[in-house]
Structure formats: C-alpha cells, structure tokens
Amino acid sequence: MSEMAGSLPRASETSRFPAHAIAGLAGTSFKHEHLPAILAEGRQDGFFEVHAENYMGAGGPPHQALTRIRQDHAVSLHGVCMSLGGPQPLDAEHVARFRALVDRYEPALVSEHLAWSTHETTFFNDLLPLPYTRATLAHVVDHIDQLQEAIGRPILLENPSTYLLFRESTMSESGFLREVVRRSGCGLLLDVNNVFVSATNHGFAARDYLADFPLGHVGEIHLAGHAAQADDEGDLLLIDSHDGPVADAVWKLFEIVIGRCGPLPTLVEWDSNIPDWPVLKTEAAAAQGILDRHAAGSMAETRHAAR
C-alpha cells in the first residue's frame, strides 16, 4: 500500500478526540438504535463506520451520539453521495460539509464510491455504474484530486457492485482502479460482497477478479449481506442489499483476501432490516476471528524466519 494511502491521522495538541487503534480490527456500521447497548458495554476493540451524509447537519442528536461513540472508538467516515464518477463538477457545498466532518471527528479512514449519483441538481439514492474509459478515468481522478485537496488527506475508493456492463468500456474494472490509484494517490476500499455480487451477475469468477485486483493498495475491507432475485429473463440477480448476514461464499473470498493482504481493518455493513446489537456484534466477531488467525500465522512465520 502506498505511503499516502496508508497514512492515518495521529492525535495532536489540537485533536478533539483520542487516537484509537484500527489496524487488524473488525468493526460494524453504527446505528443509533444500538447506542444504549454499545455504551453499556463500554470501550471495546473494533471501530464504527458512519455514512457522512447522515451527519451533515450542524448539531442535534446525531452528532451527540457520534461524539459519544468517537470518544472511545475509531471511526471510518464513508461518503455515499459525492458522485466522484459523475461528469459534472463536484458540489462545492457538499465537499465543504464533508470536510467539516473530517475536521470535526478526525476519522481513522475516509472513503467514497466509484460511482455517480447526481444529474444537474438532482441527487439519486443510488450508486450508479460507469463506463471504464479514458475519459471517465480523467474526470474520476480529477474529482478525487479535488476531494483529497479539500480534506487534506487521501481517501479510499470502493469498488462497486454492478448490474450492467457498458459496451463503451475499454478497461477492466481492476485495471481502471489500478490506474486511478496511480494517478491520484488514493487507496482502495475492497468490498468483497460487491465482488461476489458483480461476479454472479455478470458470470465471471470472483477469484479471477481478486487475482487481478491491486490488493497492495487496499486500506479497508467491507463485508455485507446480499439478496437474491430474478431478472426480467428469470436469471439469478444478486442485489447488494446490506440487509442480512454475510454469505458463506463471501466469507470464503474474505479468507483468500486476508491470506494475501494480511489483517486489514474490516467493516461489516448492515443498513436495513437492522438486527439487535448482539447479532451484528457476532458478525464482526466472526471477521475478527479470521483476522486474528491470519495475524497469528504471520507472526509464527516471522519467528520461524528469524531463527
């Protein structure tokens, strides 16, 4: 992973919050209904991810809750509406609000999507796919440069889940992401569930995709559940729904990734049909078990090599 993409904020005399470890830890999405249970348990290992757009108001209960969480835990700030892949300029007000959140909560990780979600003055509640062309590459890199310059630090860019492909594409998705990283200095957020969803929908092998993915630039991993339905022709279509547990096939792919990359910060997303806190915590514990097993294996190999 590049030095720029791997750099994390450190506590300083001007920090509002303590710095908490995040390397090799599993975390979960932070949902306000879980706050009493989380606070009752007290400080614990792991971290929480929040969607930036849920905290762009000036104050109120959302910020009160997040402030309490941030005091004892690292936070990953995940944007969902920046529209980095859109052809029009980034919304200056949205960028300013995003920067204010970065300054306010000092997140350990900052990320956004390889997608577009705006057209003129309309914001869509979707992360829409892109054609992988040189023209698309140029404006994605330009937008990432703008965002990184505004917040004063690199971001992680998430690979999408897709339901269609563009005939215009002249690059593979992994090749496109590799070039984005090279030109912008950003890192990558590898969503393993997205890989499985896209592979199933388009009929390619998820393992082949991962073999070509620039894993050395990954700074965070996402895991999530998906839903199965049929398309208009009756064929299987997977939806990145974030409404259930991580599927067995996704856990297996996660094992492969961690075996190659080592224990990276890993986030379990669960954004609808939200379960009670112990259920979500159990999913994170399963991820932590995999991370710990590979960390122990790496330490054993290091001790053996040092003899």
Cα atoms in the Cβ-side hemisphere of radius 13 Å centred on 256: 18
Tokens, residue 234:
């009756």
Q: Which residues of 86-97 are buried (b: 16+ CB within 10 A; e: fewer)?
A: beeebbeebbeb
Residue 181 banded pLDDT, cuts 50, 70, 90? very high
Nearest CA to 221 out of 258, 196, 248 is that of 258
The answer to whether 186 and 144 have CB atoms below 8 angstroms apart is yes
Cα–chain center distance at 305: 34
CB 261, CB 219: distance < 8 Å: no
Q: Assign domain 3-306 one CATH number from 3.20.20.150, 3.20.20.140, 3.20.20.105, 3.20.20.210.
A: 3.20.20.150
Q: Average of pLDDT values for 184-205? A: 97
Q: Please, what is the Cα angle at 33 between 30 and 35, to 5 degrees?
A: 65
H helix runs in 152-276, sequence order: 173-184, 192-202, 206-212, 248-261
In the structure encoding, which two tokens stand for residue 277, read together?
């806190």
3-state helix vs strand vs coil in the chain, percent to 5: 45, 20, 35
The residue-averaged pLDDT of 247-274 equals 97
Mean pLDDT (whole number) for 176-196? 98
User: Tens of pLDDT along 23-56?
Assistant: 999 999 999 999 999 999 999 889 999 999 999 9
DSSP 26-41: EEEE--GGGHHHHHHH
Residue 201 clears pLDDT 80, i.e. is over it? yes
**Residues 69-78: tens digit of each pLDDT:** 999 999 999 9
On the question of pLDDT at 232 being above 80, the answer is yes
| Residues 265 and 45 sit within 8 Å (Cβ to Cβ) | no
The dihedral through the CA atoms of 132, 135, 136, 138 has a sign that is positive
The pLDDT of residue 13 is 60
Show me where the domains of the chain are located: 3-306
* pLDDT value of residue 256: 97
Cα angle 291-297-303, degrees, rounded to a multiple of 5: 135
Q: Residue 151: is its pLDDT beyond 50?
A: yes
pLDDT at 304 over 70: no
pLDDT score at 8: 44
Please report where in the chains the tokens 């954004």 appear, as a residue.
271
Specify the pLDDT at position 250. 98
Cβ atoms 107, 77 nearer than 8 A: yes
Output the pLDDT for position 3: 39
Whether residue 307 has pLDDT greater than 60:
no
Cα end-to-end distance, the chain, whole Å: 28
Confidence of residue 143 (pLDDT cuts 50, 70, 90): very high
In percent, the amount of the chain with pLDDT more than 90 equals 81
Q: How far apart are CA 78 and CA 51, in angstroms?
A: 5
Least confident of 99-108, 182-191, 284-293, 298-307: 298-307
pLDDT in tens, 82-139: 999 998 899 999 999 999 999 999 999 999 999 988 776 666 677 889 999 999 999 9
Q: Average pLDDT, whole number, for the chain?
A: 91
